[in-house]
Structures are given as C-alpha cells and as structure tokens.
Amino acid sequence: MIDEDQINFIRRNLLKYLMEDYLPFPVNKSVCYEWANGLNLKKGGETIIYTGCSYQLAELGKRFDEILPTLSKFKGIERFSSILKVFYKPRDSRSYKILRNITSVLKSSVDFGYLYEDEPYSGTILLEMGMIEEFREYAKKLIELFNSHGVKRIVTVDPHTHYTLFRIKEMFSSLWNVEIVNYFEVIKNIKIKGEGTFVFHDSCLYSRFLGMRDSIREVIKSSGIVLKEDEMITGKETSMCCGGPLAPINKEASDKIARNRAEALKSVHNKVLLACPFCYANLSPYVEAYDFAEVISGE
C-alpha cells in the first residue's frame, strides 16, 4: 500500500506527462503507433481506429505499478524522465500482433484511418484513480485533438478506452458530437484459427458498465469458439474483477485478487479467453490466457 506522499507524486506526474505528450508514462511515443507501420492505413479521416495506447502500454503499466512506491524517493526523477521520453522504446510484440489482427478483421466491414503519431492515450488511468478534475482537463485536450483531425466516428478496441470515451461524451456533450463504437459491434465473418474451447473472463467495464456481456458472447460463439460457463464464476452478477485497476494503489491486493480469479476460472476450464489488455496483464501470470483477437481471423 502506498502512502499519501507517493499518491500525490503519482497524481502530479501523471497529469504532467499527459498534458505534455498525451502519454501517462515517460516513454518514446513510437510505442503507441509503431504497430501500424507497414499496414498502409490512411492517415486520419472521419472514421478512425483508436487504440488509446491500451494494449501497447498494459504490460509496461504493470511494471510501473511495481516500482511506483519507490519512484518518489529518487531525487531528480522528473529530470530523468525527459531522457526516457526520447530513448525508452519498449516494444510489446504480442500487443502489436493483436492490434494488427483486429485491423485485419475490421477492414472487411469498416473504412477507417489511423492517427499514427498523433494518437493520444485515452486518460483512463486518471478516471480510474478518481482524478476527476484532472480527467476533465485532459479530456478537453483530447476533444480539441480529435476535432482538429475532423474525426466523427471512433472504433475502439478495448473496454477501458471505450468506457473512457463515453465518460468524455457524457461530460462534454455540447462540445463533442462523435459516434463511438467498439470493434465487437462491427466485425463480421470471423473464424477461430483452428478449434478451441475456453472459459471467458468478462471485463467489468464491458459486462457491467457498457452492457455488452451477451453481445460479446454472441460474437465469440459465432467464430466457432466453444465457451464453458459456470453461473457462480462467469455469471453476470457473480463474475469477479481481475484486480488490475487497483494495482497503482495497492499492488499486493491486486495480485491477490488476480490469483483468486485465475483459480476460479481454471476450475471451469484450463484455457481462459478475454478481451482486455489489462485483464491479460493481471491474470496471465496465473493462468493460460488468450485475447480474443489472438485466436480469430477474418474469412
């Protein structure tokens, strides 16, 4: 559990990095858009695919969670961060493959572009840490950026980014009139690569807050995937959180929740399917896990 001084350090630097570079951590921004190199996606457009940098930063965020309690004790850490933003380029090849596969299956049903180096982080961490005023400040910056590119429709690829954009629309409905859809809502003619049976771990945001639990299951099953269910473990009211959002504040509690959730899922089936990069980062150390976008392809 981190103390109040450490929390204040985190809050101060999160907003600083976001307002300067549209990223919550001091890393080279290429980590967010490098996945799209070579795909020949058009730059921008009225409809864009928007990753919010979630898949790209999920594993990196988990590493930051581990060192956050000690960062505030190092003098001059803010000055050192400016060096990291230039030279630190962590590359998560798994997340890049997932995003490229999502892009592939989307192409058959949606005409879209991508913002490349102009794509911003969504601001999810501010919302989940209860930094509402800071979130509002950053949200205005996001709205200005999207409006400057003429964006009218955004296709999201993860639950945290999707929910965050809905909250922004809720707060600034008079300033931002965009359509927000999730890739699960628009992909067509998808098939599983080979054959597979899984137990599905629901994202709390998809299931409880966005009302997509049943529609996501329909998409999964239509691909040929067999889902094992247990009402006490995978039911709408009984499915547990992975513990991920708690990690920046209490890493020990977050890990305990993840271990308990993994054990419950394994009692249903040994292979877990999910659709959230943060759920994967938290659960994968304890169970054989796969993102939905890893196991499907377009026809």
Question: Whole-angstrom Cα distance, residue 115 to residue 123?
Answer: 17
- In this structure, are residues 111 and 47 in contact, taking their beta carbons and an 8 Å threshold? yes
Cα diameter, the chain: 55
Q: For the segment 126-173, what is each residue's pLDDT rounded down to a tens digit?
A: 998 889 999 999 999 999 999 999 999 999 999 999 999 999 999 999
Confidence of residue 94 (pLDDT cuts 50, 70, 90): very high
Per the structure block, which two tokens stand in for 39? 């795909």
In percent, the amount of the chain with pLDDT more than 90 equals 69
The side-by-side arrangement of strands in the sheet containing 179-182 is: 47-50, 153-156, 179-182
pLDDT at 235 over 70: yes
DSSP-assigned letter for residue 239: P
Cα 90 from chain centre: 17
What SS3 state is found at 154? strand
Dihedral, 199, 205, 206, 210 alpha carbons, nearest 10: 150
- What's the topology of domain 189-298? Rossmann fold (3.40.50)
Answer with the residue of higher pLDDT: 276 or 189. Answer: 276
Q: What is the pTM of this model?
A: 0.90
Q: What is the predicted pLDDT for the residue at 83?
A: 46
Listed as own residue / partner, the contacts of 232-238 with beta carbons closer than 8 Å and 24 or more positions apart are: 233/199, 233/264, 233/265, 233/267, 233/268, 234/199, 234/200, 234/201, 234/202, 234/265, 234/268, 236/202, 236/207, 236/208
pLDDT at 299 over 80: no
Question: Whole-angstrom Cα distance, residue 259 to residue 30?
Answer: 33
Could you state, in order of their start, the residue ranges of all structural domains in the chain?
Answer: 4-185, 189-298
Confidence of residue 14 (pLDDT cuts 50, 70, 90): confident
Per the structure block, which two tokens stand in for 205? 């945001």
CA distances from 227 to 183, 287, 288 (A): 20, 16, 15
Alpha helices in 22-118 (DSSP H): 30-33, 54-71, 77-87, 93-106
Cα 22 from chain centre: 15
Question: Whole-angstrom Cα distance, residue 17 to residue 19?
Answer: 6
Mean pLDDT, rounded, of the chain: 89
Q: What is the predicted pLDDT for the residue at 251?
A: 85
Q: What is the predicted pLDDT for the residue at 195?
A: 75
Answer with the residue of higher pLDDT: 215 or 252. Answer: 215
Confidence of residue 270 (pLDDT cuts 50, 70, 90): very high
Helix axes 54-71, 251-266, angle to 10 degrees: 140
Question: Whole-angstrom Cα distance, residue 244 to residue 217?
Answer: 22
